[in-house]
Structure 1
């Protein structure tokens, strides 16, 4: 027998609006009546992706699986699931039990916008139709198991009670098993799955010409729509503009934080659920020592005396659930049927960001952090050279085109993360540190990880696009060993002068022009910090001041040309791990090392789910980043003596 969904799985999937897309065909389009007959659902398997996992989803089409009451009584035809853009009416919807599909007859309105879309459907420009639906009962089929109807082999999740909410014409077609005018006895790759057919074979119903970009777009759209429903926000504009899921999450979190600061009783009235969440979150932050700028939510002071288990009981009571029974069982109910997971997650996220923001790092001083990538592949960037110098044009002479050379550099981002959990035992023991201290430390760790990435790009001396290492004699940026010394003043000035001259004398990619790149940063290990700071703070050589304060000083002998603000000084212990003697000069940001982030998200992200490997709630902290020296001409290394 297949394993039916347990309570936690039901709660995770129930009452969530989902979407499926399919193709429109032109054979059942009646231009005179402006009607289109289409099929909008089938038993084709769709791959759903969540924050932690993916699963195969099937819409059951047995006679008692689908409820068409709502869509027949008040169904509407929309454009791209936008409730503010209705383009027609659903005249009728019915269940085709022979073909195991749902079909509908829709009629387009005759206003300008509807007419524009109808014309594109008629002309076969718009081919996509999508259905939004809600599932209230699932059958979970484990791997190797068979569904109750005998038609599907696990792993998969079958919707046994579901309800279509609306039908939309969309711009991204997907599932070719349904659409307008599909044949009832159609065979081939799009045929319906046979009894006991493996799910991985059924997956072949998707058209072969739907490429990776289309699949990624479908997942992106579904996740953003789900996010908008969860937080009651209209995020359709972000779908149309192509914003990434990570970017939209950040926008949502920023907006929620801003609303929290700006909210006043005279402007916004929060319902009791939101008030309780805000008060409980602030109460936990007080207990865990988490700092925040906004005023305490009303009721927070009263709740701060509550232990975690008392807070779980209060959350259950406010959700109308029973608070009786065994303590561990009660907490388990609170983690699945109340606001407790949201409260714990918000508190953990605030702790994470506090650790992230308060951890001091040196790499942002000199590293360019504007790099953005959209995936984890190796990326290749052309480094275009400067134009050749302007020619003197004699009278009547011809102008010539300038020449530009280019080289290539490769870079890539990686994913970094860690799990932690707030267990039922931690809640029973009122272990507030598990909720605040651990995520705070993970925020600090994420910040440090970026520092590791940035300085590794410097100290690992990686190969560049020309096949030579970053610091190489052929690159003109590896100097003869010399130490930074306060007592050996003139030797230090000479070493700095040679390093500066080497950078200023670098040629363009074509090897024709000197670029006069001025070093901006002096970067060294902590072992050299005291000596270096004394050297750069001294305007005159100690020997000059001691032995000759007259004519010699007047002539400039013994002066320190690099004193005070010539360089921005950077010292980091990671450099000590590589070498306690080596020091570096770097040009302005953008000329040396660049940090890259997946989709431009520069902060760590916290994901949450009800625990599977532990009894409690699991959290995952992740950040995706990489760093690369983009141009050796903006860096000089002296290995030190």
Structure 2
């Protein structure tokens, strides 16, 4: 799983009195309550949910209390979060503010009820993914490590907030009190206290969008802050919910989420690398023409870091510094992979037409079924038993291989925003990967490997090698097709395979096109019987005049190919070199190919 630090943001309505103790500057808070948060990755949108049961608390049981997830300066640390524990369906903690003078204004705002939002920073260690009824992805973090807690203007979970109740002990908050009435006449208070309450009433009105008349009514009634909040909630509900209306939750996009921003930036970079293949649409259009360092600066600010966007040295250090936690390697890898996949899909090698695709689960030998491995159907008498066969142990085995290539981008090239090298690399690796796959599969035909029965793939014993070399013509094609149809399964049943592909090299292309072309014949003897019956495949990896006829690979596969764990095509990964601070870009291809059966192909060495 990614060890990237993740944070959560979302709107929060005004709340009631807090558990804040001004003497100890401590309070009890809900830091996570399982709210759904919309996120994005390379596969697109998904909804993330935290399972409170999977929380991992660091040794010592304490994490920093930060100012809005900022972590670039010691002054961003406001205190500490301790006594972290899952309580029911939530995660709670005791937050204690530092006694520093610069933290005093924050403590005062908490005491006055102005600061209520709490958010959590965490790393996902394990997760599960499901699909909802609408086809959307739902990811549940089943194991996650809490890294920090922050006081924020807008928390992610609507219930992530400083708790409402007088604080008895740092670890045992009392239950929430019953809601206060809309207007309460409290005992007389001194002038300073009343002025503070009136100021808070005006703040409540500003947040709730209420007018001066509402403010005056609360002040004239000597309402407490708690009563004013309750009245504000009631006023907002009456204003927005007509009678009979069922209120539903609304999911909105968090345009300030750094992960969503990075995804849009990677789309923009991919468009620069492959403009004709990767579209610039949606939010990615906002970053048209942005330099890489500009993107790094914007991402740093989105994460709450203080950075001078005009300071190129600081941005460079943020991107590829020795102790960098920058988004740059992930941003670069996402963009390069998108451009690479687009180029790779265009460079379709010809072997995929006549070879069958399979999946490799690892890099060990994989056995594949052949035509006839399943037992023949036999008559069963009433109340008779089914006769079970067994799979042959001498099945052909194919092993996938791990292939790699790499490129280093120096700091100077990055500073000059020279992505041309990476764009060329992305295109070249896609073409090279496709060409390499193609050659590896055609080499299997040329090598004529010995199968598990001790006989070469193309051999007279297998009935798939022409007895005499012949150029491509109506007669030689007829002989090959007849031999293909006569092939039998392992238990001797005729397969009656139909020809699907005529495969040849450039030296025999002209003859192949002529034998498959439709002509208007003046007499029956001139009719071309093979016109339109097969698809021609020409590949330069076939040397000389040799030619092949293949059945449909779905019916009788001769060769198989595939990728490990479904990772189609090459994959790019990036890392920062600790010594040189250059960016290493490596491309890996986990690919396997091999021959598994002789029955679906015929070969003629050509003349």
* TM-score, with length taken from structure 1: 0.53
Secondary structure at the counterpart of residue 127 of structure 2: helix
- Find the partner of 1:296 among 277, 281, 294: 281
> Superposition pairs for residues 143-292 of structure 1, below 5 Å?
224-225=126-127, 235-236=139-140, 268-271=253-256, 273=258, 276-277=261-262, 280-291=265-276
Aligned to 1:587: 551
Deviations 1:30-82 (A, max 9, x none): xxxxxxxxxxxxxxxxxxxxxxxxxxxxxxxxxxxxxxx99999999xxxxx9
1:638 CA drift (Å): 0.6
In 1, distance between residues paired with 2:519 and 2:479? Answer: 19
Aligned to 1:334: 319
- Find the partner of 1:432 among 419, 426, 440: 419
Could you list the runs of 5+ residues in structure 2 that have no partner in the other structure? Answer: 8-25, 34-47, 62-79, 88-122, 131-136, 144-249
- Find the partner of 1:132 among 56, 59, 64: 56
1:422 CA drift (Å): 3.2
In 1, distance between residues paired with 2:292 and 2:49? Answer: 41
Aligned to 2:452: 465
> Superposition pairs for residues 435-446 of structure 1, below 5 Å?
435-446=422-433
Aligned to 1:514: 494
Q: Is the 8 A contact 2:551 2:600 kept in 1?
A: yes
Secondary structure at the counterpart of residue 465 of structure 1: coil
In 2, distance between residues paired with 1:353 and 1:566? Answer: 33
Aligned to 1:343: 331
In 2, distance between residues paired with 1:531 and 1:392? Answer: 52
Q: Is the 8 A contact 1:520 1:587 kept in 2?
A: yes
- Find the partner of 2:439 among 452, 456, 460: 452
1:632 aligns with 2:598: yes
- Find the partner of 2:344 among 343, 352, 356: 356
Secondary structure at the counterpart of residue 574 of structure 1: coil
RMSD: 4.6
1:635 CA drift (Å): 1.0
Aligned to 2:526: 558
Q: Is the 8 A contact 1:539 1:561 kept in 2?
A: no
In 1, distance between residues paired with 2:253 and 2:347? Answer: 35
1:498 CA drift (Å): 1.4
1:471 CA drift (Å): 0.7
1:267 CA drift (Å): 5.3
> Superposition pairs for residues 484-495 of structure 1, below 5 Å?
484-485=471-472, 492-495=473-476
Aligned to 2:535: 568
Of structures 1 and 2, the larger Rg is shown by 2
In 1, distance between residues paired with 2:291 and 2:314? Answer: 17
Number of matched pairs: 402
1:585 CA drift (Å): 0.8
In 1, distance between residues paired with 2:125 and 2:466? Answer: 53
Could you list the runs of 5+ residues in structure 1 that have no partner in the other structure? Answer: 1-11, 18-68, 77-81, 88-129, 138-160, 169-220, 240-264, 486-491
In 2, distance between residues paired with 1:630 and 1:164? Answer: 61
Q: Is the 8 A contact 2:545 2:605 kept in 1?
A: yes
- Find the partner of 1:523 among 499, 503, 507: 503
1:609 CA drift (Å): 2.3
In 2, distance between residues paired with 1:16 and 1:321? Answer: 18
Q: Is the 8 A contact 1:344 1:435 kept in 2?
A: no
* C-alpha distance 614-291 of structure 1, shift in aligned 2 (>3 A): farther
* C-alpha distance 595-306 of structure 1, shift in aligned 2 (>3 A): closer
Q: Is the 8 A contact 1:328 1:424 kept in 2?
A: no
1:616 CA drift (Å): 2.9
* C-alpha distance 293-348 of structure 1, shift in aligned 2 (>3 A): closer
Aligned to 2:403: 416
In 2, distance between residues paired with 1:131 and 1:272? Answer: 22
* C-alpha distance 376-295 of structure 1, shift in aligned 2 (>3 A): closer
Q: Is the 8 A contact 1:16 1:134 kept in 2?
A: no
In 1, distance between residues paired with 2:50 and 2:259? Answer: 27
* C-alpha distance 409-431 of structure 1, shift in aligned 2 (>3 A): same
1:237 CA drift (Å): 9.5
In 2, distance between residues paired with 1:279 and 1:402? Answer: 56
In 2, distance between residues paired with 1:132 and 1:444? Answer: 45
1:305 CA drift (Å): 4.0
1:365 aligns with 2:365: no
1:379 aligns with 2:400: no
Secondary structure at the counterpart of residue 494 of structure 2: coil
1:503 aligns with 2:481: no
In 1, distance between residues paired with 2:138 and 2:592? Answer: 33
In 2, distance between residues paired with 1:237 and 1:321? Answer: 29
1:469 CA drift (Å): 1.3
In 2, distance between residues paired with 1:328 and 1:298? Answer: 28
In 1, distance between residues paired with 2:83 and 2:475? Answer: 78
1:533 aligns with 2:518: no
* C-alpha distance 601-400 of structure 1, shift in aligned 2 (>3 A): closer
Secondary structure at the counterpart of residue 488 of structure 2: coil
Aligned to 1:94: none
In 2, distance between residues paired with 1:448 and 1:164? Answer: 59
* TM-score, with length taken from structure 2: 0.56
1:560 CA drift (Å): 1.8
Aligned to 1:4: none
Aligned to 1:42: none
In 1, distance between residues paired with 2:420 and 2:551? Answer: 43
In 2, distance between residues paired with 1:435 and 1:601? Answer: 21
1:342 CA drift (Å): 3.7
Deviations 1:385-409 (A, max 9, x none): 465586899xx9x999697884521
Deviations 1:540-598 (A, max 9, x none): 6xxxx6xxx4xxx1xx22322111x21111111111xxx22111111111312111321
Q: Is the 8 A contact 1:282 1:297 kept in 2?
A: no
